[in-house]
Amino acid sequence: MERKPEVTAVTTEVVMPKEETYLSMVWRRFKRHKLAVVSLVILVLLYLMAIFAPYLAPYHYSEMQLDKALQPPSAEHLFGTDRIGSDILSRIIWGSRISLSVGFVAAGIALTLGTIIGSISGYFAGTVIDDILMRFTETVAAFPVMFLLLTVIAILPRSTLNIMVVIGATSWPNLARMVRGQFLSLRELDYVEAAKALGATDMRIVFVHILLNSMAPIIVSATLRIGGAILAESGLAFLGLGVVSPPSWGTIINAGRPLLRQAPWIMGFPGLFIFVTVLAFNYVGDGLRDALDPRATR
Please indicate, yes or no, if residue 46 is contained in any of the structural domains. yes
List the domain range (segments joined by +) for residue 47.
32-52+78-292
Q: What would the pLDDT profile of 68-105 be if each residue is shown by its tens digit? A: 888 888 888 888 888 888 889 999 999 898 889 888 89
191-241 residue pLDDT tens? 777 877 878 787 888 877 787 777 878 888 888 888 888 888 888 888 877
pLDDT, residue 46, reads 93
Question: 96 in a domain, yes or no?
Answer: yes
Domain assignment of residue 67, yes or no: no
Residue 93: CATH number of its domain: 1.10.3720.10
Q: How many domains does the chain have?
A: 1
* Domain assignment of residue 119, yes or no: yes
Domain-embedded: residue 11: no
Q: How far apart are CA 250 and CA 258, in angstroms?
A: 14
Q: For residue 26, is it within any domain?
A: no
Instruction: Assess if residue 12 is contained within a domain.
Output: no
Residue 229 contacts residue 107 (beta carbons within 8 Å): yes
The average confidence (pLDDT) of the chain is 83
User: What pTM did the predictor assign?
Assistant: 0.82
Tell whether 254 is covered by a domain.
Answer: yes
